[in-house]
Chains A and B, each alone.
Chain A
Amino acid sequence: MHRRGVGAGAIAKKKLAEAKYKERGTVLAEDQIAQMSKQLETFKSNLEEFASKHKQEIRKNSQFRVQFQEMCATIGVDPLASGKGFWSEMLGVGDFYYELGVQIIEVCLALKHRNGGLITLNELHQRVLKGRGKYAQDVSQDDLVRAIKKLKVMGNGFGMIPIGGSYLVQSVPAELNMDHTVVLQLAEKKGYVTVSEIRDGLKWETERACHVLAHLLKEGLAWMDTQAAGEGQYWLPALFSELASRDVTPEEANQMTP
């Protein structure tokens, strides 16, 4: 029968084994880093070759970009992590998405006084395209979504709320929990929502509905129409279609809050 190792001898043996293992482990890791360095060089030249043949596809074809991104995600690689990455430097994907990020930030900032920092992906898409001019590269909604995902790391509250088959893009750090989100989704059909609709549609008590709406009002995401026939309507400027609204200046926006 084998006695479990206790006692000074066993401890010394254990330490020796640990030391040997450590030593082997260290060498292995060092070797691996050297190996990785070599593989990296090979990969770099493969990527260069790929780029020389196919750089245009990525630039011109948004479908190809989607596939490319998904392949990268599958293997655990983020081609947009750094401007210094191979993908970015050689394929030029970086500049495309980082510049898009700048344009997204600027559009959201310009409209914040009107919609409180919430905008539909459609409207964002249209405005970004307009800003890029007609000779610029085409941009798809998938491109926007990926650029926004990257912007999140900068802590300005960028987020995406699923709504009506698409998304609302949030660009301010307003606290929006599940209750707020579900009310936004309810409002999506008509662009506004009332307390009774929330009560009937979501089966909430009046107080809960009012609490959520008050928060949206306070954050500037909703405007209240007290002149509507019946009860007050809570409108979401983010959901106004571009055609139906005209641009409001910040001064006008300030006057509108009661």
Chain B
Amino acid sequence: MDRFSWSNGLLEINETLVIQQRGVRLYDGDEKSKLDVGVALLSTHRLIWRDIKNHECCMSMPLSQIIFFEEQAAGIGKSAKIVIHLHPSPANKEPGPLQNSKYSYIKLSFKEHGQIEFYRRLTEEMTQRRWENTPVSQPISSGTGSQSGRTRAVGIVGIERKIEEKRKETDKNISEAFEDLSKLMVKAKEMVELSRSIATKIKDKQGDITEDETIRFKSYLLSMGIANPVTRETHGSGTHYHMQLAKQLGDMLQAPLEERGGMMALTEVYCLVNRARGMELLSPEDLLNACKMFESLKLPLRLRVFDSGVMVVQLQSHSEEEMIASALDSVSEKGSLTAEELAKLLGLSVLLSKERLLLAEKMGHLCRDDSVEGLRFYINVF
């Protein structure tokens, strides 16, 4: 305990508070110190201890004094401790609570717990050794603690100052980024105008541009993120990228579709595929454009849009008649069904079982009972 020096506990400019813990008693070696329980503070540069009741009683030690430290588990009637082994004091050490100690280690006893986190943070600081990068001036010892009332305030000011510096740095980066971004956008705008001109020509004189060039043009639009005015007239034609995607999806979705009764909502597919990819994710439009190509690529999947606007991917093998037949079976078995009940029965999502029932109704096989209790379907006996 003779390594400590009296301190006012104020943080220096480059010093940051890392963690503080109440209820800590100091031990000089194995002996309890005469001091009461206090607050232990760990900063990037020092270990500080302050008496809880008497704020003027405050001391600190540079972290460079620490050789190593270890945990001492709690026992019966004993709090957990951290034992800190120390280098000998330098000759110019400022006076502290104890002149000479026979021990070269101290203990922090955590009467109100918190030792695990404190230990972790201490380990971090001792590994990073941040005090070596940003040296602070030796704290001026003040025997009288007249400034201790302001201790906390100045400490916070130090933190605020750091935040302000960081913000200025960030601002500078942002404004530079904006400048560069603006220049980039000017070039992008030129490309947009060029592409509009090309698109107009293609529209007016369909057949004069080769198929190859049209495909190339579309891929340029895709790269730039420019909406394709051409495909609004021709349907389903995507780029090579979408064709590849469509084939990948064809392989990837077989098993999941079978598990789910042959049909999945497009949003479900989106989540499934992107979760599997992890990175280089598909945009919703990528997925949609790829699915639109299933038919032309002769893949065994189809994109289907219901009257409600809901889009699904379904296995081609899953015929409409099968779906309706299974829905009818379930309804006649139970007398009547809501979408939720059918969903539970068949292990489908509510959205898709509702579509199935609506489809059967459209075909005239079911009729509905629409009330505030919900939508219920019965076999159509009319």
Contact = CB atoms under 8 A, between A and B. Distances in A.
A84 B223 CA distance: 6
Interface in B176-190: 176-178, 180-185, 187-190
A98 B274 contact: yes
Given A50-B184, A99-B274, A157-B309, A84 B284 contact: no
Given A47-B184, A105-B270, A218 B371 contact: yes
A173 to B, nearest CB: 5
B305 interface: yes
Categorize the interface residue count of chain A.
35 or more
A77 B270 contact: no
Contacts of A207: none
Interface residues of B, number: 70
B116 interface: no
Contacts of B285: 81-82, 150, 153
Nearest to B273: A102
Contacts, number: 207
Contact of A30 (B188, B213, B305, B308): B213
A204 interface: no
A40 B309 contact: no
B178 A67 contact: yes
Interface stretch (A31-39, A126-134, A180-188): A31-39
A219 to B, nearest CB: 9
Contacts of A105: 267, 270-271
Given A40-B191, A172-B351, A154 B209 contact: no
A39 B266 contact: no
Nearest to A99: B281
Interface stretch (A21-29, A136-144, A162-170, A192-200): A21-29
B288 interface: yes
Contacts of A87: 225
A32 B181 contact: no
A86 B223 contact: yes
Nearest to B308: A173
Interface stretch (B99-107, B152-160, B214-222): B214-222
A258 interface: yes
A154 B224 contact: no
Main secondary structure on B side of the interface with A: helix
A203 interface: no
B225 A85 contact: yes
Contacts of B35: none
B68 interface: no
A57 B177 contact: yes
Contacts of B205: 22, 25-26, 29
Contact of B373 (A40, A46, A78, A258): A258
Nearest to A60: B170
Nearest to B170: A61
A126 to B, nearest CB: 20
Interface in A231-258: 254, 257-258
A257 B227 CA distance: 45
Contacts of B275: 102
Contacts of A57: 173-174, 177
Interface string A52-94: 0110010001011001100110111111111111111100001
Contacts of A220: 374
Given A25-B208, A43-B191, A258-B373, A50 B180 contact: yes
A75 B309 contact: no
Contact of A82 (B181, B191, B274, B283): B283
A114 B180 CA distance: 47
B375 interface: yes
B345 interface: no
B192 interface: yes
Contact of A71 (B181, B310, B371): B181
A118 interface: no
26 contacts: A26-B205, A26-B208, A26-B209, A29-B202, A32-B201, A35-B194, A36-B195, A54-B177, A54-B180, A64-B177, A67-B178, A68-B181, A78-B225, A79-B225, A82-B286, A83-B283, A85-B225, A87-B225, A94-B283, A98-B274, A102-B271, A154-B287, A156-B351, A224-B372, A257-B374, A258-B372
Interface of B: 170, 173-174, 176-178, 180-185, 187-192, 194-195, 197-198, 201-202, 204-205, 208-209, 213, 216-217, 220, 222-227, 241, 265-267, 270-271, 274-275, 279-288, 305, 308-311, 340, 350-351, 370-375
Interface of A: 22, 25-26, 28-30, 32-33, 35-37, 39-40, 42-44, 46-47, 50, 53-54, 57, 61, 63-64, 67-68, 71-72, 74-89, 94-95, 98-99, 101-102, 105-106, 112, 150-157, 172-173, 214, 217-218, 220, 224, 254, 257-258
When A and B form their complex, which 8 residue pairs have the shortest distance between CB atoms, in order from nearest? A155-B311, A98-B281, A29-B201, A54-B177, A75-B189, A154-B266, A78-B225, A81-B225
